Chains A and B, each alone.
Chain A
Amino acid sequence: MSLYCVQKLLYQLNRDPHTRQRYHENFESLLEEYELTEEESRAVIEGDIGLLYVMGVNGQILMHYSALIGQEWDEYIHAMKEGVKSYGPVRAGLYSMLKDREP
């Protein structure tokens, strides 16, 4: 359920101007409406794209959050690769099927 909530937050940030406005005005207040774990909240607040990827956020959602926090495309790809090095393989979601794949 928790991964779902992180993805929903990032999806709404990406697609809903009102949510994005609240992100700019009072991010912590917005976060209270989503049932996130402490680690998830920290990853979102700090813009830790690598950790969000390892948690299982779908790239089609994550790449837009990366752009929102000002990353260029190459930085986005680099952040995911560094995330796997720091936190280990993807834990859940679609990409956890990649666990057995050669790097």
Chain B
Amino acid sequence: MSLVFAGTCSHAPGITGRSNRAASNLREGLRHSLGRMRKLLEESRPDALIVVAAEHFANFFMDNMPAYCMGMADEYEGPIEDEEWLAIKHTKIPGNPDLSRRIICDVMQKIDLAYAEEWKFDHGIMVPLHFLTPHYDLPILPVNINCQGPPLSPLHRAYEFGRTLRTACDAQPERIALIGTGGLSHWPATPDSGEINEPWDKEFLDSFIHNRREDLISYKDEEIFSDAGQGGFEIRTFLAVAGATEGSIGELLFYAPIPVYAVGCTVATMTVE
């Protein structure tokens, strides 16, 4: 049918694992917004959900690091982390290998997309699913953009990947939803963990919501690293969603810096024209 939904959200493990350590108004505000996103996702009646994530050395290591990879399995599992640490129970998650294969083949016309028939989800996918598809009954097509181990794919390619993914989705008979998950500025798992550059986040989000491609692709990795930390590299997942919804604008449902979650928590949807 086509792409029927697009959005982005944060995936920090603290959102579930350290949930109660945030101020109650922020915690509830974030949960309420994720609930709104879930409702909008469900109202789009998707047959499958593509999750563009930025995993953290769960399946991919520097011995063989794809810039872009999509899962092509009939079942996945997660979380790979300790379930008490993440406060998400280990479970199986359905995939759709036939749909994955068709999308991969279409995307490969323009982007050299790798594939994987095994994939264990880390918090980068499990935290969003915990809120958006808590019964794990919607087939998931996981995508990873390497945002951890440089060299990283340039930002204009992340945008182009989104464009190409959109073309591939629109060529399928299924109704397909898309989310990108990642942090904006953050310094996860380092001595600076908990730092958040709120002005940087807000400037980026303004460009994202208005889908200003030239602004979005103008960031340099050295600047991102300096101003937004290594976690800022994950904006590639947002750029992929912007590319998939080029020409459309979005709505920011939630943004608030929550240091105990180590990120400015974000929930946004993009109009799908």
Binding site for B on A (CB under 8 A): 4, 7-8, 11, 14-15, 53, 58-63, 67, 77, 80-81, 84, 94-95, 97-98, 101
Contact = CB atoms under 8 A, between A and B. Distances in A.
14 contacts: A7-B61, A15-B57, A53-B191, A59-B188, A59-B189, A61-B57, A67-B82, A77-B193, A80-B190, A81-B191, A94-B150, A94-B230, A95-B230, A97-B225
A63 B57 contact: no
B189 A63 contact: yes
Given A4-B62, A95-B190, A101 B230 contact: no
Given A77-B191, A80-B190, A80-B191, A60 B61 contact: no
A82 B234 CA distance: 28
B172 interface: no
A7 B61 CA distance: 9
Contacts of A63: 189
Contacts of B190: 53, 59, 80, 95
**Top 7 A-B pairs, shortest CB-CB distance:** A59-B189, A60-B56, A63-B189, A80-B191, A81-B191, A59-B190, A11-B61
B108 to A, nearest CB: 28
B271 to A, nearest CB: 33
Contacts of A97: 222, 225-226
B80 interface: yes
A101 B57 CA distance: 26
Interface residues of B, number: 21
B203 interface: no
Given A7-B62, A67-B85, A81-B191, A60 B226 contact: no
Contact of A8 (B61, B82, B150): B61
A81 B222 CA distance: 23
B63 interface: yes
Contacts of B222: 97
B191 A62 contact: no
B188 A60 contact: yes
Contacts of A77: 191, 193
B58 interface: yes
B148 interface: yes
A58 B57 contact: yes
A8 B189 CA distance: 18
Given A8-B61, A60-B57, A61-B57, A101 B226 contact: yes
Contacts of B85: 67
A84 B57 contact: no
A63 B193 CA distance: 12
